[in-house]
Amino acid sequence: MSDVRFLPIDPDRLAAMRSAGGDEFGNPWTPFDAEGREPLRCCLRGSGAGERIALITYSPWTAPSPWMEAGPVFVHADACAGYATTGRYPPAFLDGRRMINPFDHHGVRAYDHITFVGPGEDHEAAVRAVLAQPSVAFAHVRSASAGCLMFEARPVGSP
Ligand SMILES: [Zn+2]
C-alpha cells in the first residue's frame, strides 16, 4: 500500500461547477472537442481526440492563503470516472518536465525543497523524496513548461 496519495481535482467541487454552469472564478462552462493532447485533471490522464472537455480556472486551495494560486486546467465537460488509483503516480503524467512545489505544515511554500524532474527521471521517487522531508506537508506537481497544476501529492493521513 502506498503512503502517498496522488489527488485529482476534488470530484465534489467539480460536480458543483458543472451543475452551476461555470467554474469557481465566474468563467462559464464551455465544452469543446479535445485535440487529444490535453492533460485532464479530473481523471489524471490525457484526453482522447474528440472527447468533450472544458478549460477552467482552478485553485487547489480550499481556505484563504496568501500562497493561493489559481490557473487554467482541462477537465472533462461531463462527469467522468475520476482517478481511483490514488496510491499510484498517474502513469499518463510520467513524461515531461515537472515542478514539485512543496508547502510546509503552515501552508508556506517550502522553497528549499522545490524540485524539478525531467523526462526519463523517476518522477514518483522525486515526489516521495520531497514529501519525506519533515518540514513538507504536501506538494503540488506542476508542468514545468506551462506552469499549470497537474495534481496534488499528500502523505496518507494528511487532510
Ligand atoms: Zn475526467
Distance CA 134, CA 136 (A): 6
Half-sphere exposure for 29 (CA within 13 Å, toward CB): 18
Q: Among residues 81, 29, 18, 37, which one has the least CA distance to residue 54? A: 29
Distance (angstroms) between ligand 1 centre and the Cα of 52 equals 10
154: CA distance to ligand 1 center in Å?
A: 20
Query: What residue has cell string 460536480?
Result: 15
Contact 10, 16 (CB under 8 A): no
Alpha-carbon span 49 to 33, nearest angstrom: 7
Residue carrying the nine cell digits 481535482: 9
pLDDT along the chain (159 residues), means of 10: 88 97 98 97 97 97 93 97 96 94 97 96 96 97 93 88
- Residue 31 has phi, psi (to 5 degrees) of -65, 145
In angstroms, what is the span from residue 77 Cα to ligand 1's centroid?
Answer: 8
Amino acid identity for residue 117 in this structure? V
d(CA 97, CA 115) in angstroms, rounded, equals 11
Surrounding residues of ion ligand 1, Cβ less than 5 A:
40, 42-43, 76, 80
* Cα-to-centroid distance, 134 and ligand 1 (Å): 33
- The pLDDT value recorded for residue 1 is 43
User: Would you state the pLDDT for residue 159?
Assistant: 67
Q: What one-letter code names the amino acid at 7?
A: L
